[in-house]
Structure 1
Amino acid sequence: MAEQLPASGWTQRDDLAKLVAALGAEQMRWVGGCVRDTLLGIEPADVDCATVHRPGTVIDLCRAAGIRTVPTGIDHGTITALLDHGPVEVTTLRQDVSTDGRRATVAFADDWLEDAARRDFTINALYAHPLTLTIDDYFGGLADLAARRVRFIGDPEERIREDHLRILRYFRFQARFGDALDEAAVAACEKLAGTLKGLSRERVAMELLAILELPDPVATVQLMEKLGVLAVILPEARRNEIVCLIALVASEAAQDHAPEGIRRLAALIPPIPTLAEAVAARLRLSKAQRARLVCAAERKPADADAPRALAYREGVESAVDRLLLSGSDTAALDGWTVPELPLKGGEIVARGVDKGPEVARILRAVEAQWIDEGFPARNRVEELLEAELSHRSRAS
């Protein structure tokens, strides 16, 4: 008897029933992560479906049913249906026409098996009927899922040569769902590690950060280092840096902090701001990510002495990064909101100081004392200002 997807909250969504009615239950299947995760008892982050309909038809059918769509990846057959309880990617069945390790040219297909064959791992090629929830398993994905085995569909080397990013995807999925390593997959990743150099840095950064954001990526990172994969994508990460990552993961767990990819990336880089800048540029990180990585690289032992002063200067997020990276206590920042200095330059001008650099100097002096005293209330700030003005008067 064919296995069925267990009924769960998402499979009973009324907005998904509306999509099924629009496309036709026999012309679509739930596929990929939503099927895999539900079988594992994990709440899926996204719901995706495959369909025999061409993209234009998907748009027309959805419009007729009152469902708005966005052509998010129409060249590759993907339309996003905007539903009440979250978007759903609807992708036409495909087959690869040509691949070069970086991108694929695809053609639309009519055969579910052809679509399954182009997917990377057996556990990602599971399709579920939207009404009966019967699962179609073309490559032994159910058995692999039960055995906690991440296995490529077909020859691992061939699949990696089609898309080099599958090396990093293998490590990410192995960390999430794997138990014993698949020897053929590991050998192929080691042999073809150098092919990662040809990928866009954005794609590499996306997968690397996804790996680092897993609850405990240490064993996976160590394996990547052993196989020479880490040296290709992040040569700055050597044995000492991996030791730092191990300590960071332990510190996060001990202090109940959620994993952060950028923070963990900082652990894998020597604490040198210029080096962090270079890594951020190479990986094409966003402006915000780059700033956070560089700030983390500026960590120093003195950070632990005044965590709130650090958070005032750098922001709570970056302060937590630096404290955790140094193994320091972050409790002082729990629930703490960075205050605003209760003093404006105009008040200093009103006290007889001419507008210009002197106002800024006095403001900085008062602020520094205010920080050192632990951010006291307004009345103390007024006292600090009075003291600074008196000192200025005596010095003039």
Structure 2
Amino acid sequence: MSTPSLADAPWLTAAATRKVMAALEAGGGPDVARFVGGCVRNSLMGRPVDDVDIATRLEPQAVMAALQAAGLKAVPTGLDHGTVTAVADSQPFEITTLRRDVTTDGRRATVAFTTDWAEDAGRRDFHINALYADSQGRLFDPTGQGLADIAARRVVFVGDAGRRIREDRLRILRFFRFHAWYGAGEPDAAGLAACVEEAGGLAELSAERVSKELLKLLAAPDPVATVEAMAHTGILAHLLPEARTLEDFRAMAAVTGDPVLRLSPLLPAAPEALDAAVRALRLSRREMTRLQVLTGPVLDLETLDDRQVRARVYGEGRPAVKDRLVQALSQKPALRDRFDAFTALVETWAVPRLPVGGREVAALGIQPGPDTGALLKAFEADWVANDFPDAGHLERLTALRGQREG
């Protein structure tokens, strides 16, 4: 069987890509640089390519000089690890010198530069990420197994799985994340066993690295089988020790691809416990707010009506209500039509402004102060409860004043 080629890949033939590769080849000759990693893997699997990474025999300072000689912007993003970012036509390209690990501690590595493509491939995590392509799209498979794993949709560590993990404990999560996105069937047995054996090392990772990898995993088209494998092997308990039953997770994953919503059933339901779990994961304030919204009673799509939806949008905001509707759909997926109708209402309803204020209260002879705020609060509650009427405001304000004074 002939080796495939990426010669017609749009990202490879793009003008910006050609400029960067031409600059590197001018600085080091032919075969001084090859595309590597996700752009090669995804092209072979028919997946979108978001980033174009390049490996090169040139050392970082030579990369900088070659780019600048070609009139391209060069950003020294990680010179100690051999990484320079080139910018061509406003597009970034991460360029990394071929390297081998000298020492590792499970979180970071000290590297030495090399000119050997096979040596560079030998330090990468999985065969499917150790594939290279030259500027003409010709493929190179230094491990001898990358193309076969692509075809079989296998995620297999390069070399000894335990050693790869001890070099960087995050590779445990990457193993599951890549299986969720690119694998088929059961995870590789040797890789899975190594992840279980080395799982205690997950505690050495920063919370930010863990949560970023976990959310990427949960964004996969169908992460359920992978998360179940993590649960059955005890890996999930290392990350989310208070994870609830997977039943709600399966239900949520079936109705949305949003990783934050998919995470919610795996976190504690009690608000205080949830807050502690979210802080432990170092999630963003926005993500924390979204998760907190989902700790209240689940909306019932069967009994919900338009008035209630409008009231919730007014009080909670569109994003929160949309998230709550998705949560409700996960519990009653047969009510998809009602969910769609309510979601359309949330997205299109023009939220009105409170039609009265301090001026109208003052016109009733009430002096500015606590009484003004209390009357406006009572009016707002009545206005919302009556589905935001657009007339009769002064009359209702007067009636409410009378009720309060009576």
Amino acid at match of 1:19: V
Change (3 A) 1:389 1:176: same
3-state SS in 2 of match to 1:365:
helix
Q: For 2:380, which of 360, 364, 367 is the aligned residue? A: 367
C-alpha RMSD of matched pairs (Å): 2.1
* Higher mean C-alpha displacement, 28-37 vs 344-353: 344-353
Query: Which consecutive unaligned segments of at least 5 residues does structure 2 have?
Result: 333-338
The superposition leaves residues 344-371 of structure 1 with CA deviations (integer Å, 9 ceiling, x where unpaired) of 6343355244333333333333333333
Distance 1:260 1:385 in 2: 45
Following TM superposition, the consecutive aligned residue runs of length 4 or more in structure 1 with deviations greater than 4 angstroms are: none
How do 1:212-361 and structure 2 match up within 5 A? 212-238=218-244, 240=245, 242-252=246-256, 259-301=257-299, 305=304, 306-327=308-329, 329=339, 331-334=341-344, 335-336=347-348, 339-343=351-355, 345-351=357-363, 352-361=365-374
Amino acid at match of 1:371: V
Contact 1:51–1:90 at 8 Å: present in 2 too? yes
Distance 1:374 1:74 in 2: 61
Change (3 A) 1:297 1:394: closer
Distance 2:52 2:154 in 1: 23
Q: Does 1:388 align with 2:384?
A: no
Contact 2:7–2:138 at 8 Å: present in 1 too? no
TM-score under structure 1 length normalisation: 0.90
3-state SS in 2 of match to 1:297:
coil
Report the equivalent of 1:94: 99
Contact 2:37–2:131 at 8 Å: present in 1 too? yes
Contact 1:299–1:322 at 8 Å: present in 2 too? no
Distance 1:65 1:157 in 2: 43
3-state SS in 2 of match to 1:43:
coil
Distance 1:395 1:20 in 2: 77
Change (3 A) 1:349 1:366: closer
Identity of aligned residues (%): 44
The superposition leaves residues 149-175 of structure 1 with CA deviations (integer Å, 9 ceiling, x where unpaired) of 111000111111111111110011111
TM-score under structure 2 length normalisation: 0.88
3-state SS in 2 of match to 1:87:
strand
Q: Does 1:135 align with 2:139?
A: yes
Distance 1:337 1:285 in 2: 31
3-state SS in 2 of match to 1:102:
coil
Distance 1:81 1:386 in 2: 67
Report the equivalent of 1:255: none
Change (3 A) 1:220 1:65: same
Amino acid at match of 1:298: G
Distance 1:369 1:350 in 2: 19
Report the equivalent of 1:57: 62
Contact 2:362–2:368 at 8 Å: present in 1 too? no
Report the equivalent of 2:23: 22
Change (3 A) 1:54 1:292: same
Shift of 1:269: 1.8
Distance 1:309 1:124 in 2: 50
3-state SS in 1 of match to 2:220:
coil
Shift of 1:270: 3.4
Distance 2:111 2:91 in 1: 27
Amino acid at match of 1:200: S
